[in-house]
Chain A
Amino acid sequence: FFSHIDVHLELEERLAKFMRTEEAIIYSYGFATIASAIPAYSKRGDIVFVDEAACFAIQKGLQASRSNIKLFKHNDMSDLERLLKEQETEDQKNPRKARVTRRFIVVEGLYMNTGDVCPLPELIKLKYKYKVRIFLEESLSFGVLGEHGRGITEHFGINIDDIDLISANMENSLASIGGFCCGRSFIIDHQRLSGQGYCFSASLPPLLAAAAIEALNIMEDNPDIFQTLRAKCERIHKALHGVSGLKVVGESFSPSLHLQLEESSGSRENDVKLLQRVVDYCMNSGIALTQARYLEKEEKCLPPPSIRVVITVEQTEQELDKAASLLKEAAQSVLK
């Protein structure tokens, strides 16, 4: 009601300008962003094709929307095409219904659970071929990928208007709290009245909005931090390749990668315990690590247990090397 402060307006304008879209809308909590955006457009009876490795927030958004969900194998475009073709044959049987069912594809730019990117150019081709809209979730790739940090669309050089909705949370790269959705006004304006996390919830404290604006300033003033970050990611990626007993999962330019056990011991509990010993060893020697946590009963496709390794641009090369060598030591002592 009276919670739209001028700082919010400024943040929305800055985000829209940074991402080169028409409009942006701010949510006060990162989880609620995508979990409110999906049900605002996709209702009962609509069809959503979603990747298996989608994060929990997307799963909750889909559950709240009550639409038909079709999972396709992670990053497997042929599987997705097969599902789309099946849908097309269904449509031909019932053209009147097909004219009113909306279709969406929900993917993430940089997947949190596996650390790799989605093949966006092929997705765009599929979009126009089968007339499906794309919702892109850029929580990890915003501020990481692309020459100026604009995310995966800049990374692949795609026109941002081709993506219907980009949603991201500001809790990763911008180190604030909250999330935003950006896109064309036609799409974003709808959320102002029907996004549940927007209408029925308090807005972001001005402190955090100002922090986000400041972070955007830093991002715009120093475009070379993205290059530095990428170089550091590649460095640690290479350094961790030699760790015995653990394999590295994730792209070389992803700042968040997973270390999974090369050979699982058979039971998830034992795996988790083993990894926890590695983590404890590292914690005692000065490296803070954590295991990736999941709610085991609630996830649709549970990823295997892993250690989450995250890099920031402020860590020096010595620190990275030290971390890598310590991890090697830990893995050797625990997993032998």
Chain B
Amino acid sequence: MANPSAVCNGHLHHHHQKQNNLLKSGIYKKNGITKGMKKNGTSNGTLYKKTSIEQFEQAPMYVAVLTFLGFGVGTIFGYLRDFMRAWGLEKRNIAEEREQQKDFVPLYQDFENFYTRNLYMRIRDNWNRPICSVPGPQFDLMERVTDDYNWTFRFTGRTIKNVINMGSYNYLGFAETDVNALKTVTRELQKYGTGICSTRQEMGTLDKHVELETLVATFLGVEDAMVFGMGFATNSMNIPALVGKGCLILSDELNHTSLVLGARLSGATIRIFKHNNMQSLEKLLRDAVIYGQPRSRRAWRKIIILVEGIYSMEGSIVRLPEIVSLKKKYKAYLYLDEAHSIGAVGATGRGVVEYFGMSPDDVDVLMGTFTKSFGAAGGYIAGKKDLVDFLRTHSHSAVYATSMCPPVAEQIIRAMKCLMGLDGTTQGLQRVRQLGKNTRYFRRRLHEMGFIIYGNDDSPVVPLLLYMPGKIGAFARRMLEKNIGVVVVGFPATPITESRARFCVSAAHTREMLDTVLNALDELGDFLHLKYSRYSKASHPELYEENRLEFED
């Protein structure tokens, strides 16, 4: 079975040996494809040019039971405390309505806030931690303490220095304060100032925007691009411009809120298919083409598929080749949101399109943000010239929202030039390679230790499953004590039983930093019993592997 050796390739030449074996055996001659090792995959022989492993292991049953038990206990205590608060036995710490407005209709329903008041408040200190330095591979945290169990916080004035940052989306390490690197940005700041004070269509289009747009188009290999001031707003303001009533939107289960909001604001019909599940998508497409609109049975005006490049909560990569073949077969449009994947995957950092070796012409609307890999803010939409020209006149953002500010545009220009190699160095390519190396190393070590990790082996977003609500708080606090900053996520951003800690690997992390984090995780995993994986590998697989490969031949 090829699975273990592919997952934990201890030494590099082992992996090469495996590839050589395949070459010799002639599989490569057929179409360059080997089997895709996905747990819920179908045989998709000729579409994938390389093996890509995604795993979503299920936890043992007792874990699910204990998780529910944990939430149950929390809820019971929540009711108890609410009862005591209503009867005045316990202090009310939450802010109250004004005296004069007591007889107004209450602004918040009591139940809406139940979760916030009772469960979230207990572990609230793990979120919204203020930092006081650039969010690079290490940063400084402001120390804050709470005297009344997280209802209010007080800053002690001290800072915790050099905390290893495993939470920021700093994939290529462009969040830096090196003066040389930021020379052009400071120059633009002095030339243009910060504010634009106008919309794109009125007075807000600067030459910087035009320069940036041509650069983005060249980077992605498309005809034209348009940039916007905010990533979230790019989705929520352009999807309504592209689709309207009488159109059908097929969106993935786990799409980001901005995509959901944009889809809802557009007024089109929305149907949801299971996450990365091509059978579900194909069934929906067939039904849409056969049955048409619900009441009138007319054909849909447009069918558009909304997917993301890398899903930030799961770490899975979209199955782009299959979706493109489906879209061509059923004549639908594809909208790809590469917020996390642009700059982070692909041999030269051009996103999932390059990762799968496809041409950018296959995707109708390429959307992405500059917040994650480029260390700036804003979003872009790229594609054919007709599409971008249409958006320039019809997008809500072009008419009503201010454009990107010049220093930020300059930062993106410099980062993109660095990635493309236009500034004369190979720094960009090095960053992408370093990110790939770091990702694979991190994931491999975590698998070896026996944690349950979701997602594709090439995605720099690594969710580590915690499951139980009590462990969320404990995990984050103890990691902070060891000077490592992590992000933990629970309900409602994830399903109720699948709370997780999410690591974001960056090109700026050195091997030592990753090793520190991994050692801390090892200790903590044993202490908190987090190593649920049933496929845990032994820590010294080399001897074992040598023998297995010989037998396979």
The answer to whether A binds B is yes
**Does A205 make an interface contact (CB < 8 A)?**
yes
Instruction: Please determine whether B109 and A100 come into contact, CB atoms closer than 8 angstroms.
Output: yes
- When C-beta atoms are compared, the residue in chain A nearest to B402 turns out to be A171
**Considering the chains assembled together, what is the distance between the CA atoms of A17 and B232 in angstroms?**
29
Instruction: Please determine whether A30 and B108 come into contact, CB atoms closer than 8 angstroms.
Output: no
**Does B104 make an interface contact (CB < 8 A)?**
yes
Chain A window 98-124, contacts with chain B (Cβ cutoff 8 Å), 1 for yes, 0 for no: 111111000000000000000000000
Instruction: Please determine whether B264 and A29 come into contact, CB atoms closer than 8 angstroms.
Output: no
Instruction: Please determine whether B257 and A200 come into contact, CB atoms closer than 8 angstroms.
Output: yes
Chain B window 138-162, contacts with chain A (Cβ cutoff 8 Å), 1 for yes, 0 for no: 0100100000000000000000000
Chain A window 180-203, contacts with chain B (Cβ cutoff 8 Å), 1 for yes, 0 for no: 000011110110110011001110
Instruction: Please determine whether A202 and B377 come into contact, CB atoms closer than 8 angstroms.
Output: yes
- Majority SS at the chain B contact face: loop
8 Å CB contacts to A: which residues of B157-176? 165, 167-168
**Considering the chains assembled together, what is the distance between the CA atoms of A327 and B250 in angstroms?**
52
**Does A9 make an interface contact (CB < 8 A)?**
yes
Instruction: Please determine whether A201 and B232 come into contact, CB atoms closer than 8 angstroms.
Output: yes
Among B132, B203, B236, the one with the most A-chain Cβ atoms within 10 Å of its Cβ is B236
**Does B195 make an interface contact (CB < 8 A)?**
yes
Instruction: Please determine whether A177 and B402 come into contact, CB atoms closer than 8 angstroms.
Output: yes
Among B116, B129, B394, B396, the one with the most A-chain Cβ atoms within 10 Å of its Cβ is B396
Residues in A with CB closer than 8 Å to B167 are: 1-2
Chain B window 375-404, contacts with chain A (Cβ cutoff 8 Å), 1 for yes, 0 for no: 011000000000000000010110111100
**Does B258 make an interface contact (CB < 8 A)?**
yes
Among the listed B107, B127, B232, which residue makes an inter-chain contact with A133, where contact means beta carbons less than 8 Å apart? B107
Instruction: Please determine whether B95 and A189 come into contact, CB atoms closer than 8 angstroms.
Output: yes
Instruction: Please determine whether A6 and B396 come into contact, CB atoms closer than 8 angstroms.
Output: no
8 Å CB contacts to B: which residues of A1-36? 1-6, 8-9, 28-32, 35
Q: Taking the nearest CB of chain A, how far is it from the CB of B176, in angstroms? A: 13
Instruction: Please determine whether A31 and B194 come into contact, CB atoms closer than 8 angstroms.
Output: no
**Considering the chains assembled together, what is the distance between the CA atoms of A193 and B256 in angstroms?**
16
Instruction: Please determine whether B116 and A292 come into contact, CB atoms closer than 8 angstroms.
Output: no
Residues in B with CB closer than 8 Å to A292 are: 202
Q: Taking the nearest CB of chain A, how far is it from the CB of B379, in angstroms? A: 10
**Considering the chains assembled together, what is the distance between the CA atoms of A287 and B104 in angstroms?**
51
Number of interface residues of B (CB under 8 A): 67
Chain A window 193-230, contacts with chain B (Cβ cutoff 8 Å), 1 for yes, 0 for no: 10011001110110110010000000000000000000
Residues in A with CB closer than 8 Å to B53 are: none
Instruction: Please determine whether B203 and A288 come into contact, CB atoms closer than 8 angstroms.
Output: yes
Among the listed A5, A102, A200, which residue makes an inter-chain contact with B107, where contact means beta carbons less than 8 Å apart? A102
**Does B230 make an interface contact (CB < 8 A)?**
yes
Among B116, B120, B258, B399, the one with the most A-chain Cβ atoms within 10 Å of its Cβ is B399
**Does A263 make an interface contact (CB < 8 A)?**
no
**Does B96 make an interface contact (CB < 8 A)?**
yes
Task: Please choose the segment from A56-64, A68-76, A237-245, A314-322 that sits at the chain B interface, where 4 or more of its residues have CB less than 8 A away.
Answer: A56-64
Among the listed B107, B139, B194, which residue makes an inter-chain contact with A177, where contact means beta carbons less than 8 Å apart? B194
- When C-beta atoms are compared, the residue in chain B nearest to A98 turns out to be B105
**Considering the chains assembled together, what is the distance between the CA atoms of A192 and B128 in angstroms?**
10
Chain B window 104-127, contacts with chain A (Cβ cutoff 8 Å), 1 for yes, 0 for no: 111111000000100010000001
Among the listed B108, B195, B258, which residue makes an inter-chain contact with A174, where contact means beta carbons less than 8 Å apart? B195
Instruction: Please determine whether B107 and A41 come into contact, CB atoms closer than 8 angstroms.
Output: yes
Instruction: Please determine whether A161 and B98 come into contact, CB atoms closer than 8 angstroms.
Output: yes
Q: Taking the nearest CB of chain B, how far is it from the CB of A123, in angstroms? A: 15
**Considering the chains assembled together, what is the distance between the CA atoms of A202 and B169 in angstroms?**
10
Instruction: Please determine whether B130 and A1 come into contact, CB atoms closer than 8 angstroms.
Output: no
Task: Please choose the segment from A150-158, A268-276, A293-301 that sits at the chain B interface, where 4 or more of its residues have CB less than 8 A away.
Answer: A293-301
Binding site for B on A (CB under 8 A): 1-6, 8-9, 28-32, 35, 41, 55-57, 60, 63-64, 98-103, 128, 131, 133, 161, 171-172, 174-177, 184-187, 189-190, 192-193, 196-197, 200-202, 204-205, 207-208, 211, 288, 290-295, 298, 308
Please name 19 further chain A to chain B contacts, defined as beta carbons within 8 Å, in addition to the given A4-B130, A175-B197, A298-B396, sorted by A numbering: A2-B167, A6-B130, A9-B130, A28-B377, A64-B264, A64-B265, A102-B107, A103-B105, A131-B103, A131-B105, A133-B101, A133-B104, A171-B402, A190-B108, A202-B232, A202-B371, A207-B407, A293-B399, A295-B400
Q: List 9 A-B contacts (CB under 8 A).
A: A3-B131, A29-B229, A29-B232, A31-B397, A98-B105, A184-B95, A185-B95, A200-B256, A295-B394
